[in-house]
Chain A
Amino acid sequence: MIDFIKSDKGKILYWIIGIFVAVIFAFVLLPPLYATWNRIDPLVCGIPFSIFMCFIFMLVLAICLVLLYQIQRIRGDL
């Protein structure tokens, strides 16, 4: 895996994560899209769906940030 990240093809990981991040931000920012999760039901372990999705989106974005940092570190792109 590390060899792949270091290779020229490894750059594609930036694009994959970047597109993933862009899609999440689209769901967070754009009114027609955030309306899809902006509701109370279904409750997830008693937590309203809107708050649960805020948590999930933030967690995924945080993981993407860490992954981007690690890829930059391994590739020497810091």
Chain B
Amino acid sequence: MTLAVTLIMLLIYFGGLAFCIFSNPMPKSNFEEYAVGGRSFGWPFITMTIIGTWYPGSLLIGWAQMGHDMGVSVMYLGFYTLGGLFVFLLMAGRLWKLGVKYDLKTMGQFFQLRYKSRPLRVFGGASVLLIEFPWVITELLAAGYAMQVMTQGRLPFNVGMALICFFFLLYIMFAGTRAVIIADFYQGWMFMIGGIVLFVTAIFFFWDSPADMFGQVRNLGEELLTIPGPDTYWGEAPGGLFWTSLIMMGILGGYMWPSLFSRIFAAGSTKDLKASLRITPFMAPVFTVLVFAVAIGSSSQTAFGQDDTAYALVEMISAMGPVAMGIIACIILAGALSMMDSMISAWAIVFSNDVVTPFKPEISPKTQVTMARVIAVIIGVSGLLIAMTDLPTIVQILTRVYQAIVQVFPAVFLGLFWKRGNKIGAWASIIVGYGLVIYFAWTQPDYVPFLDGMQGGLLAVGIAAVVYIICGLIFKPDPGVDKLFEDMKLPDDQIVREEMPPLH
């Protein structure tokens, strides 16, 4: 009976998703349509694609484990989500305008336009792609686990991951970013509404009230309800600046991921782009706090997660019955799929646009689309093969890669606001940042004890920003930068498409 219910829910989920995607083919087969959906999406779609790409399926596994084991510390995700949205608010309009005017689709192209450097475009494009790659592995793991839950363990873990991988590659090849954004719209709502209903129900199913839930957690130990910090060191808590740096890394790095960065270019106007701020900020206080409160509460339900605390929350919810089991598995699938499809389609576009096209400028837009499709398959299958091997825990992988992606922040963000920022500063800041992150990854990958628990990546980005500013003060601004800053101030309806200026 339970299997029948979950299988029916699985069929409804995939059937609805497939219908939405495959009934919306690309109106034209060119690279702009494939890469940024013809820059045609309104704010409801942009909102849901940001939510879908931001909240991973592993939220209910990796982060739920952190909530279960480390308590309230897990709330850092809500703060960095909101901080990231402030960064988005500041830079998205300027980037979008440059994107429309100069046909930008990727961060690499932005580097070429802003700093007049093709090597920086290739290096920037390729490096952010490599840094984001581990995300797809963690999401494949989450999706594989969800498929196991849905099929009551009858489907082997690796087969579940392979089926999911095949499915999203199919629709990425079908319509690129258009398919991804439509899929994210469908899944974003499911993730948000399904999650809120399910977790509110869970509180009153397992406990009498939220007060009862936290009371039972308190009985286990008060440390779960305080952030390990200056006056509450406990267990292996790293130090007061660990919490600080987790949030700061997320704020600075959040919109540097190529999958989120390229979403900025898919909006129909700056109004559509920023109107997503009507809904996305409230995901943090409502959805994040609710999910993590239940994750913290799951630590008081000792019957669940006995083999691995990563699965305590899902096991607990599944104990509510087959429908709850089906819903939580669908939520994990929705989170994982909406993140993986955004990433893989964005990477394929980045690779095609920033790594291959600069060396083969005569390539036709049609060939670019074909190449992006082939690259999507190669990246997806590579991620699948790696996900089938033994790996560290999900959150550990992701906090480490955040330390690397944040190093492009000075070149992107300061480059949008400070005219004196120049090519030498961009190169120097990225090289210094990556170099320090590699050093810390080798010596203290999670946090640096003598810096009171601060992550090495935060120190590195601080130094990288100083390097960028010093270079900006010493060396001359790049040619044509004044015009770019004027372009960023143009009203949407006065933007006229131009070729990217030639390199000097």
Contact = CB atoms under 8 A, between A and B. Distances in A.
Interface of A: 21, 25, 28-32, 34-35, 38-40, 43, 45-48, 50-51, 54-55, 57-59, 61-63, 65-66, 68-69, 72-73, 76, 78
B78 A65 contact: no
A43 B211 CA distance: 9
A59 B296 CA distance: 20
Contacts of B247: 28-29
Interface in B194-239: 209-212, 214-215, 218, 222, 225-227, 229-232
Contacts of B452: 31
A63 B279 CA distance: 10
Interface centre among B227, B293, B296, B491 (most CB of A within 10 A): B227
A66 B277 contact: yes
Interface of B: 72, 75, 78-79, 82-83, 85-86, 89, 93, 209-212, 214-215, 218, 222, 225-227, 229-232, 240-241, 243-244, 247-248, 270-271, 274-275, 277-278, 281-282, 284-285, 288-289, 293, 296, 452, 491-492
B277 A54 contact: no
A67 to B, nearest CB: 10
Given A31-B240, A35-B230, 14 more contacts: A31-B230, A35-B231, A38-B232, A43-B214, A45-B211, A46-B211, A46-B212, A46-B215, A54-B72, A54-B78, A62-B82, A66-B277, A66-B278, A73-B274
12 contacts: A31-B229, A32-B230, A38-B226, A43-B211, A45-B211, A51-B75, A54-B72, A58-B285, A62-B281, A65-B86, A65-B89, A78-B274
A6 B270 CA distance: 18
Contacts of A59: 285
A23 to B, nearest CB: 14
Given A51-B72, A51-B75, A46 B289 contact: no
B270 A78 contact: yes
B211 A38 contact: no
A54 B284 CA distance: 10
A65 to B, nearest CB: 4
A50 B227 contact: yes
Nearest to B278: A66
B274 A40 contact: no
- Determine chain A's interface SS by DSSP, over half rule: helix
B244 A31 contact: yes
A34 B227 contact: yes
Contacts of A43: 211, 214
Nearest to A40: B225
Nearest to A78: B270
A58 B274 contact: no
A32 B210 CA distance: 29
Contacts of B289: 51, 54-55, 58
A66 B218 CA distance: 35
B244 A29 contact: yes
Contacts of B78: 54, 58
A76 B492 CA distance: 11
A25 B277 contact: no
Contacts of A29: 244, 247-248
A69 B43 CA distance: 13
Residue of B231, B232, B281 contacting most chain A CB atoms (<10 Å): B281
Nearest to A48: B225
B416 to A, nearest CB: 15
B441 to A, nearest CB: 24
A29 B76 CA distance: 10
Given A38-B232, A46-B214, A58 B271 contact: no
B86 A73 contact: no
A46 B83 CA distance: 28
A28 B79 contact: yes
A34 B240 CA distance: 10
A45 B241 CA distance: 30
A35 B82 CA distance: 21
Contact of A62 (B215, B227, B282): B282
Contacts of B93: 78
Contacts of A68: 89, 277
A55 B79 CA distance: 10
Contact of A46 (B85, B210, B229, B288): B210
Contacts of B240: 31
B72 A50 contact: yes
